[in-house]
Structure 1
């Protein structure tokens, strides 16, 4: 389905990003997986044909510009841009200092902006493109105890909605996918941090996250990947400027 397409996935070495990259590669795409840890990227690329590692820091404008330029030189214009790299950490607003706020925005929102900006020219040049931001259900309804994270994910959705209007009527679509708590390393680390902050057991912390998902279980990374694959397929060209919620029920 995607033979000859060049896809770029930030945060592509683990979790949701890796599941998306593998799904795209299985459909014939050449997939650049970007991230900060070379060893993680190299292992992922070695395990799956069609994946190509790119060490890149989405919070650094120069790193993004140089990295994506090198990927384009090697594999052609990026026609599928998956802005997935992100961090998730809760902190009360009264305990949020500027450094914490800026780090959250730099990685989640600035990173998406820079990645998309550098990929769009190739889509305009070739006349076809898919821009997909991996936001969060917290970008739709807000997450208690995580105002900075929620704001960054709301910002990603605003960016996508504006871009969808900019390219309305073209073959470039822009959408956001919004998973609830997903079975990734981020949930594992959050279990520990929530337990420590609340003074509860790790099992109790995990149950709190499970209860926040409307269907009472963690989302599988493959479920997010399949939604992304559909947005890249031939039957989704009229889906544009949307938030696809993968949360087991209504937000």
Structure 2
């Protein structure tokens, strides 16, 4: 029997990352789970049918990405599938975005994925097979008010995906992005709370505002994002794409 392939999922403690980890495990992958919270990672691991490896890490810290991959390779071997899901948003009017705010958004949403991709590619190329899927955002493709730093980082992430896909075409390694709209996750709940606090509306009204941003009139389910991610994992013919999962908000 051939050795099971290894998948690494960042931001695997909750939301989209948890669902993707479950899907990959159910498909027979051994999954390395990373996020900042060990408790959340352990909860994800308990829902995965195949063997998992829990590696808590802050991927923005110096040396964290190299340490993560060293543990993954020591425990399971080279990473075959890399799902770059960890990320966070912040909102503020442009004049109030501090240098620290700006750098935090770039560090988490762009630099950490770049470091993971850089670390994963050599062994994928050597083995002539690999799948990289970054969870970007519709903010990778359009600008919206009050999220300048997040939008800039996500535009950069999509650019990284496209460049890497072009460089790796023909090697057996594919690189794609999935670009969700507002997803029913704890990150969106934080956005709801922020909107409610800023505008004086209640949480239900703030949530409805985000639901209306999708033409289908509701938030996207994490499982729907996972569907697109697994499509990229399972297909060798899809690469260099930014696949929208946004209820029709951006047509491409």
Length-normalised TM-score, structure 2: 0.95
Q: Deviations over 1:116-157 (max 9, x none)?
A: 111112211211001111000111112222111111111100
Q: Distance in 1 between matches of 2:184 and 2:249?
A: 20
Show the counterpart of 1:181: 182
Give unmatched runs, 5+ long, in structure 2.
Answer: none
Q: Distance in 2 between matches of 1:6 and 1:169?
A: 21
Q: Deviations over 1:167-200 (max 9, x none)?
A: 1112101100000000100111111111111222
Give unmatched runs, 5+ long, in structure 1.
Answer: none
Shift of residue 3, structure 1, vs aligned partner: 7.2
Show the counterpart of 2:35: 35
Q: Runs of 4+ in structure 1 displaced over 4 angstroms?
A: none
Q: SS where residue 55 of structure 2 aligns?
A: strand
Show the counterpart of 1:111: 112
Query: Are residue 143 (structure 1) and residue 149 (structure 2) matched?
Result: no
Shift of residue 46, structure 1, vs aligned partner: 2.2
Shift of residue 43, structure 1, vs aligned partner: 1.9
**8 Å contact kept, 1:3–1:27:** no
Show the counterpart of 1:16: 16
Shift of residue 49, structure 1, vs aligned partner: 2.6
Q: Distance in 2 between matches of 1:108 and 1:152?
A: 6
Shift of residue 250, structure 1, vs aligned partner: 4.3
- 1:1-251 equivalent positions in 2, closer than 5 A: 4-50=4-50, 51-233=52-234, 236-251=235-250
Q: Distance in 2 between matches of 1:179 and 1:83?
A: 14
**8 Å contact kept, 2:55–2:68:** yes
Question: How many residues in Structure 1 have an aligned counterpart in Structure 2?
Answer: 248
Q: Distance in 2 between matches of 1:214 and 1:137?
A: 14
Q: Distance in 2 between matches of 1:208 and 1:200?
A: 10
**8 Å contact kept, 1:133–1:176:** yes
Shift of residue 62, structure 1, vs aligned partner: 0.4
**8 Å contact kept, 1:9–1:84:** yes
**8 Å contact kept, 2:215–2:248:** yes
RMSD between aligned residues: 1.4
Q: Distance in 2 between matches of 1:192 and 1:3?
A: 46
Q: SS where residue 178 of structure 2 aligns?
A: strand
- Give the direction of change, closer, same or farther, for the CA distance of 1:146–1:3 in structure 2 (3 Å limit): farther
Q: Distance in 2 between matches of 1:190 and 1:250?
A: 18
Q: Distance in 1 between matches of 2:225 and 2:113?
A: 18
